[in-house]
């Protein structure tokens, strides 16, 4: 990128080309008189692992230029692990030095993959289309965020969606985001749904009238290919004359003058520095990790943290980087030698994969179209719960450690996920360096209620796993048996291997209390011409996967912005 090729000023600058940023770039650039710039830290992508649904574990779990691959700080509620041996010297009683090998332990760190490309995490996720529970949004409204109730946000979900199957009051058919049924049929996913439906009600649509129940997921795919936010919102309009898209750029900070955001300072891939100005607004859509980092480096955040790093304080805003919430998740994996599951074996390489590849190329169906997690459930951990507080994901592959360890052979997996954790974490800067990773502390399971809910949720999952016909496939757990009647045994297993299911939110929360970062119109408190629009604004995490809600936030944010400058009507 050459400096003379970069426009010096724009009307709107969108920082982050993820799920919400792609929506904003599309909707704002639809007004031809506005000049829009979209900045994305990652590269453009044509990678077959992204477009082919079954390829996503090889980006989420493996080192890739499309993945930030963050780690958390050691989580105190997790079990301890032994670090690689190190050498040191000790002094004996007479003063002589002796070389010694030291073994250190620390609490296990969590893994935090995030998308680093146009489309953000929607380009590397499992593509599940889930909105959450209607009460999630009513609770947001009750916290002082007028205009964010379920009835308020439903039109934006529908505006975004083009559902191939459901044509009713809960779904849209004309939006950019294609939603389809899973294009892979197998006996294992059907067995999960059949077994689960014996214990819970069958639900044909998790985004319909009721969330609770067991059923098949829908996915953001079109003709068997991933339909990311970039594919849905950017690809059709990328050549608009008033839209400039800059990839491979890392935003350092915002330029603030007299309490007003006026420009963005960033580095290109050669670490050359550029500054572009915003005539109207800057919108941060860099995600639950990226947006608070940029605010902090810009001098917007807790005064004590900024001063510690010698960052000039532009606005003492104590909530920046706080209120981090994420869904903690525990996986059980079982070996079952059938090439109808997704796995690595001589038979799969010689026979199954060639047939499946041909099926995918000709029909866009089969294993290569699978999101791996094909069915699931929203259930209550106990009878005291008013709404589901546990989500299950059932997968047709052996899965451990975020697929960072690839296992030989075949099998199935089932996840139990805590939907409404009470634990709260933080994100802080490790330094002023824009290329340095943040300090991420989800503080998983720090609230004792979270562990008890996970234990109860595991028991509900085990009931399904032990029910016919699924039980014939769950007799060989790869990490040993767990007594479902022994809470201590279940807890130990959870502490040993539970981790994120990739839904961090809340670090720039929307609200009216002293820890709020943005108001109900997504304006940053105390700074003019600056908004945040992404998952970081969620005051409370939604009860389900977070990609569809983040796209909804982008749609609503676009209308909030355009209503300030251009008369439009909200979707009906």
Asked whether the bond before 185 is cis by omega within 30 degrees of 0, the reply is: no
Look at residues 386, 384, 373 and name the one whose alpha carbon lies nearest to residue 417.
Answer: 373
Say which residues have a Cβ less than 8 Å from residue 86's Cβ, sequence separation at least 6: 101, 102, 104
Known catalytic membership, residue 410:
no
DSSP character string of 251-268:
EEEEEEETTEEEEEEEE-
Are 176 and 159 contacting, i.e. CB atoms less than 8 angstroms apart? no
Q: How far, in Å, CA of 263 to CA of 210, rounded?
A: 45
Are 515 and 144 contacting, i.e. CB atoms less than 8 angstroms apart? no
Look at residues 400, 445, 514, 511 and name the one whose alpha carbon lies nearest to residue 143.
Answer: 511
Burial of residue 239 (number of CB atoms within 10 Å: 0-12, 13-18, 19+): exposed
Say which residues have a Cβ less than 8 Å from residue 177's Cβ, sequence separation at least 6: 160, 161, 162, 220, 227, 229, 232, 233, 548, 551
Q: Which residue has the tokens 């562990």?
A: 451
Cα-based distances in Å from 269 to 19, 41, 147, 255, 424: 22, 9, 40, 21, 34
- Give the 3-state secondary structure of 22-36: HHHHHHHHCCCCCCE
Q: How far, in Å, CA of 504 to CA of 509, rounded?
A: 12
Look at residues 384, 465, 391, 376 and name the one whose alpha carbon lies nearest to residue 421.
Answer: 391
Residues 114, 117, 121, 122, Cα dihedral to 10°: -170
Q: How far, in Å, CA of 355 to CA of 271, rounded?
A: 46
Q: How far, in Å, CA of 271 to CA of 275, rounded?
A: 13
Q: Which long-range contacts (CB under 8 A, 24 or more apart) does 342-351 make?
A: 342/54, 342/367, 342/370, 342/372, 342/396, 342/397, 342/410, 343/397, 343/398, 343/407, 343/408, 343/409, 343/410, 343/411, 344/406, 344/407, 344/408, 344/409, 345/408, 345/409, 345/410, 348/410
Look at residues 136, 124, 142, 46 and name the one whose alpha carbon lies nearest to residue 552.
Answer: 136
Q: Which of 171, 200, 327, 503 is catalytic?
A: 503
Strand partners for 122: none
Q: How far, in Å, CA of 122 to CA of 505, rounded?
A: 15
Three-class SS of residue 196?
A: helix
Look at residues 150, 548, 170, 213 and name the one whose alpha carbon lies nearest to residue 388.
Answer: 213
Q: How many CA atoms lie within 13 A of 228 on its CB side?
A: 31
Q: How far, in Å, CA of 488 to CA of 452, rounded?
A: 10
Please identify every residue annotated as catalytic.
503
């Amino acid at each position: 990128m050459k400096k003379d090729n970069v426009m010096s000023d724009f009307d709107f600058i969108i920082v982050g080309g993820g799920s919400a940023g792609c929506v904003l770039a599309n909707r704002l650039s639809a007004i031809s008189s506005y000049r829009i710039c979209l900045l994305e830290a990652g590269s453009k992508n044509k990678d077959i692992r992204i477009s082919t649904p079954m390829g996503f574990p090889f980006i989420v779990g493996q080192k890739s230029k499309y993945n930030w691959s963050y780690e958390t700080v050691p989580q105190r509620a997790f079990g301890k692990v032994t670090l690689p041996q190190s050498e040191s010297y000790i002094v004996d009683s007479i003063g002589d030095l002796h070389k010694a090998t030291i073994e250190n332990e620390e609490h296990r760190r969590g893994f935090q993959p995030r998308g680093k490309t146009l489309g953000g995490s929607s380009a590397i996720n499992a593509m599940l289309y889930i909105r959450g529970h209607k009460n999630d949004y009513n609770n947001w409204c009750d916290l002082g965020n007028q205009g964010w109730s379920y009835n308020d946000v439903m039109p934006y979900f529908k505006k975004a969606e083009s559902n191939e199957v459901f044509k009713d009051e809960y779904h849209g058919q004309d939006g950019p985001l294609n939603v389809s049924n899973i294009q892979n049929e197998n006996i294992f996913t059907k067995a999960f749904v059949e077994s689960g439906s014996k214990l819970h009600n069958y639900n044909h649509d998790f985004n319909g009238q009721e969330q609770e129940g067991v059923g098949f997921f829908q996915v953001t795919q079109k003709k068997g290919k991933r339909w990311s936010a970039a594919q849905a919102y950017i690809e059709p309009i990328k050549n608009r004359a008033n839209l400039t898209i800059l990839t491979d750029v890392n935003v350092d900070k915002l330029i603030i003058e007299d309490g007003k955001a006026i420009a963005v300072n960033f580095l290109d891939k050669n670490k050359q520095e550029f500054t572009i100005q915003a005539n109207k607004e800057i919108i941060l859509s860099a995600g639950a990790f990226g947006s608070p980092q940029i605010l902090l480096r810009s001098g917007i955040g807790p005064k004590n943290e900024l001063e510690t790093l010698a960052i000039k304080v532009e606005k003492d805003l104590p909530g920046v980087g706080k209120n981090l919430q994420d869904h903690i998740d525990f996986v059980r994996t079982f070996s079952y030698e059938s090439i109808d599951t997704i796995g690595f074996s001589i038979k799969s390489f010689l026979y199954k994969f060639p047939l499946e590849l041909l099926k995918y190329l000709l029909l866009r169906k089969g294993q290569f179209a699978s999101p791996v997690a094909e069915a699931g459930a929203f259930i209550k951990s106990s009878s005291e719960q008013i709404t589901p507080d546990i989500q299950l994901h059932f997968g047709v592959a052996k899965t451990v450690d975020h697929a960072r360890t690839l296992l030989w052979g075949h099998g199935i997996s089932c996840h139990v996920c805590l939907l409404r954790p009470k634990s709260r974490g933080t994100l802080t800067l490790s330094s002023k360096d824009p290329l340095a990773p943040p300090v991420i502390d989800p503080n998983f399971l720090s609230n004792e209620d979270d562990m008890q809910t996970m234990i109860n949720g595991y028991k509900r999952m085990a009931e399904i796993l032990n029910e016919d016909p699924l039980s014939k496939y769950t007799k060989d757990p790869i990490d040993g048996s767990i007594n479902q009647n022994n809470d201590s045994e279940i807890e130990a297993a959870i502490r040993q291997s539970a981790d994120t299911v990739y839904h961090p939110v809340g670090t720039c929360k929307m609200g009216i209390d002293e820890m709020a970062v943005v108001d109900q119109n997504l304006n940053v408190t105390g700074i003019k011409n600056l908004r945040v629009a992404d998952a970081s604004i969620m005051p409370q995490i939604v009860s389900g996967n977070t990609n569809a809600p983040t796209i909804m936030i982008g749609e609503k944010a676009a209308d909030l912005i355009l209503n300030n400058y251009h008369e439009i009507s909200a979707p009906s």
